[in-house]
Structure 1
Amino acid sequence: MQNRRKFFKAAVLGAAAFSIDGVSKTAKAATPKVVKGKPIVVSTWDFGIAANAEAWKVLSAGGRALDAVERGVHVPEADPKNHSVGYSGYPDRDGHVTLDACIMDEYSNCGSVAALEHIVHPISVARLVMEKTPHVMLVGEGALQFALENGFKKENLLTQEAEKAWKEWLEKSEYKPIINMETKSYDSNGATAYNPLMLPGNVYNHDTIGMLAMDANGNLSGACTTSGMAFKLRGRVGDSPIIGAGLFVDNEVGAATSTGVGEEVIRIVGSHLVVELMRQGYSPENACKEAVMRIVKRDPAKAKAIQIGFLALNKKGEHGAYCLQQGFNYAVCNAEDQKKLIKGKYYFK
């Protein structure tokens, strides 16, 4: 009996020295932390390169994907040369700069703001909505009140350049979204080329920035922020702040974001659709393509006149995109390449 007791005592002590995964505590302390994923960040459009670089500072230091995407999209939000995101965004037709943004983490926590005025970084307000309230979305004056109560500074977002463009637009007041915000021009050899649209005042403009990241723990997060369509109807909100439309994250599968005419993305709940397709086994690119095809099939004539693009990242770190028209691109940043820009494949040739 004594020997049996000694045996069980030794067995219990021995088991206590091991963790659930069978690695001894002593050995575990001496073993480097297992890296579950290779950090990567992807974002829409070429201005995503600078945004990714800022996000990479967080990811390369072992930080959380959520912190990376928030910090990354701060770059275009504060850029006075970017007239489609944050500060210096083009106003609505009544001259008000209104911003939309949403953020989502690996636990399906999410926060959003829409029609927010006077705050440079709507993405950070969206994060506070997620972390400090029982709600997902705050809009308009309520969103502004919440931001000010939480220490954000009220600022004038309508820069002289954006105001000049708006006043010139008022001369005709024609509301016609332009594909890729681009215009046809000619290069030095006389060949047709496509350059960023020079709206009134020669201002550079594209669209929403959507950013997706995976950190060293293999966790995903995403952010999406925009000033919306230039000279839109007052109160218009597109897909960018809507979870499932402009952004969706499922930490078991992957994440997706969108860019382009938000009304059409909302109609198919686009980003959620892309993630669900990846759950079924689609690659990121093919999932984005199928979402685009849903839009084409629903209204081919309308689809041919607009631009919509989807960008996706799965749990393996694989990424891909697909869009309606030529011109969409996305930026990729990882340990191997910090400034890669990839042209999105497209449907209409």
Structure 2
Amino acid sequence: MNSRRKFLRLSALSATLVGGISPFQRIWAGALEKPKANKPIVISTWDHGMPANEAAWQILSQNGSALDAVEAGVRVPEADPNVRTVGYGGFPDREGKVTLDACIMDKDSNCGSVAFLQHIKHPISVARKVMEDTPHVMLVGEGALQFALSKGFPKENLLTPASEKDWQNWLKESKYRPVINIENHDTIGLLALDANGDLAGACTTSGAAYKMHGRVGDSPIIGAGLYVDNEIGAATATGLGEAVVRTVGSHLVVELMRQGLSPEKACQKAVERIMVKQKNVKDLQVGFIALNKQGEYGGYCIHRGFNYAVKDHRTSQLIDSKFKM
């Protein structure tokens, strides 16, 4: 003990003599000091994530909540008829019906979801109402529609002339062969870390083009298409939902981050898990993005072609995801 005290005194004396901090003091100061988080920050899937991020950032930059930001962000592609895989103007199912899935999750693990919802332009906002105004997590089909109407959401025709024309052309052969990165990049998933250090996430889609009537993918399923753990981080998925559901993909990514993996590495491990489980991934695309509590982010996918958008105080950019094949 006496020798240790002598060492400490000598260390302090040496620091005083040189007019600075001793190496010993720097080591202990560094061990006690937590790295500063990069916040606020928002990350989302695909190039339609760029305008979605801008809407989310308007809230985050004013010290708004991550929950408000993720809802506002994904409402942008939901309302854009040129985004053919989300909301209004989305590709219909085999019967020519536009059916929508969405979910939202907050910092306290509260979550809401709607599936197989028709005639409502903003399913993400209905999902939030399910979370906040009901004792349930998920409403589907006619029940979800009736709930939305009771909350004042207008009933609308979501099938645009462009999507109807494409559906009519598809009917000529009626072959279900989605083209990866085109017809099955069917999701906007958005994650945010606000200035208070809290996470939230949202995911919304019109699903795979020309799917069977009634099909639901991963996007409205908590743990598959989206998962948020405010102690660790958040993740969301895009691509073929069936493959994501089988591995509870977004939950897997968050749990891998809990084990100490970076967001990118966690996404990579989840992709590799899917590739092991699937018999053939040649025509299958799945991608994940993740965001941790420090504001670190990353993404990974099976095939080249997936990208994700990031916005923080320093930059607004579209990043080409790393890929396995």
Q: Is the contact made by 2:227 and 2:251 (CA closer than 8 Å) also made in structure 1?
A: yes
Three-state SS of the structure 1 residue aligned to 2:113 is strand
**1:136 aligns to 2:137 (yes or no):** yes
Report the alpha carbon displacement of residue 238 of structure 1 after superposing the two structures with TM: 0.2
Report the alpha carbon displacement of residue 304 of structure 1 after superposing the two structures with TM: 2.3
Three-state SS of the structure 2 residue aligned to 1:320 is strand
Report the alpha carbon displacement of residue 177 of structure 1 after superposing the two structures with TM: 1.6
- AA of the residue aligned to 2:290: A
- AA of the residue aligned to 2:182: M
Report the alpha carbon displacement of residue 206 of structure 1 after superposing the two structures with TM: 4.0
Q: Is the contact made by 1:101 and 1:126 (CA closer than 8 Å) also made in structure 2?
A: yes
Q: Is the contact made by 1:223 and 1:247 (CA closer than 8 Å) also made in structure 2?
A: yes
**1:60 aligns to 2:38 (yes or no):** no
Match of 2:323 in 1: 346
Partners of 1:324 and 1:255 in 2: CA distance: 20
Equivalent of residue 307 in structure 2, options 279, 304, 329: 329
Match of 1:93 in 2: 94
Partners of 1:36 and 1:144 in 2: CA distance: 40
Match of 1:29 in 2: none
Task: Report how many aligned residue pairs link the two structures.
Answer: 290
Partners of 1:133 and 1:324 in 2: CA distance: 38
Partners of 1:219 and 1:250 in 2: CA distance: 10
Q: Is the contact made by 2:37 and 2:293 (CA closer than 8 Å) also made in structure 1?
A: no
Q: Is the contact made by 1:304 and 1:324 (CA closer than 8 Å) also made in structure 2?
A: no
**1:175 aligns to 2:154 (yes or no):** no
Three-state SS of the structure 2 residue aligned to 1:82 is coil
Q: Is the contact made by 1:37 and 1:218 (CA closer than 8 Å) also made in structure 2?
A: no
Partners of 1:327 and 1:77 in 2: CA distance: 22
1:186-209 per-residue CA deviation (whole Å, 9 max, x = no partner) reads: xxxxxxxxxxxxxxxxxxx84200
Equivalent of residue 253 in structure 2, options 274, 280, 292: 274
Percent identical across equivalent pairs? 67
Structure 2: runs of 5+ lacking an equivalent: 1-35
Equivalent of residue 308 in structure 1, options 286, 293, 304: 286
Three-state SS of the structure 2 residue aligned to 1:311 is strand
For residues 144-293 of structure 1, what are the structure 2 equivalents within 5 Å?
144-181=145-182, 206-293=185-272
Structure 1: runs of 5+ lacking an equivalent: 1-34, 183-204
Three-state SS of the structure 2 residue aligned to 1:97 is coil
Give RMSD over aligned pairs: 1.2
Q: Is the contact made by 2:41 and 2:193 (CA closer than 8 Å) also made in structure 1?
A: yes
Match of 1:69 in 2: 70
- AA of the residue aligned to 1:163: E
TM-score, normalized by length of structure 2?
Answer: 0.88
TM-score, normalized by length of structure 1?
Answer: 0.82
Match of 1:118 in 2: 119
